[in-house]
Amino acid sequence: MNDQTPNDQTSAPRSGGPADPAAIADLVAANRILADQGVLDGYGHVSIRHPGAADRYFLSRSRSPAVITAEDIMEFDLNSNPVDRQGRLMYIERFIHGEIYKARPDVNAVVHSHSPAVIPFGVSTVKLRPICHMSAFLKNDVPNFEIRDCDGMTDLLIRNAKHGAGLARTLGGSNMALMRGHGNVCVGPDIVTTVYRAIYTEVNARLQAQAIALGGPINFMAPEECDLITGRRDVHYQRPWEMWKSRIAIP
């Protein structure tokens, strides 16, 4: 068992109420889309805040995102204790989700990935910066979580509330944070926007590496341009979501 927090039903938190099946279906689709798009590998995870209870969230039991079904989805309180564990194995790193939901009332979905093109930007002196209009959400200085500053030498996993809170502090008000030598975390007001951000963080990293390989100075997006794009009200994240969804098997 890879869980460090034994939890018996006498101390389990109460449920925030029944889950909207459509919200759970979107969470299952998000897992499979992010696996299909190469953002999540066999590891990594995505959660949503409980639509009816701000102090609860939904996250799969410990399984690979590509094969998750609605039956795998578990409910947690913001200390990342399961409401009804049923002996299931849980993600060690679920504290990422609980601690970010605590710190960011505006956030309703969280993706933690090891998306490969992004990792070099967490370990080098080259900053990840928005290179095209699709990734204008990266406009702020992308923060980089250094777990050594939080807890010295570790195996780099977010194993407890201390690590999760440290990551949430580094994330601050940003849409995305790098995790040095590990991966990244993307957040947003809803699951569709957050999936979009996780996919285009990976795309941006790939494009930026290509621009660096061409040589010479890079003309990045100006913060004003990023503001004009992120301030638009006519952006339809549903459009790519529908396409990404068409490529996955819905269980």
Q: How buried is residue 138: exposed, middle or buried, by Cβ count under 10 Å (0-12/13-18/19+)? A: buried
Residue type present at position 219 = N
Contact 81, 145 (CB under 8 A): no
User: Could you confirm whether 225 is annotated as catalytic?
Assistant: no
Catalytic residue among 93, 146, 224, 242: 93
DSSP string for 175-220: SEEEETTTEEEEEESSHHHHHHHHHHHHHHHHHHHHHHHH-S---P
Beta bridge partners of 6: none
73-93 burial, b if ≥16 CB within 10 A, otherwise e? bbbbbbebbbbebeeeebbbb
Contact 138, 129 (CB under 8 A): yes
Q: How far apart are CA 167 and CA 216, in angstroms?
A: 34
Q: How far apart are CA 6 and CA 180, in angstroms?
A: 29
Q: Which of 80, 116, 81, 102 is nearest to 166 (CA)?
A: 102
Catalytic positions, written as ranges = 93
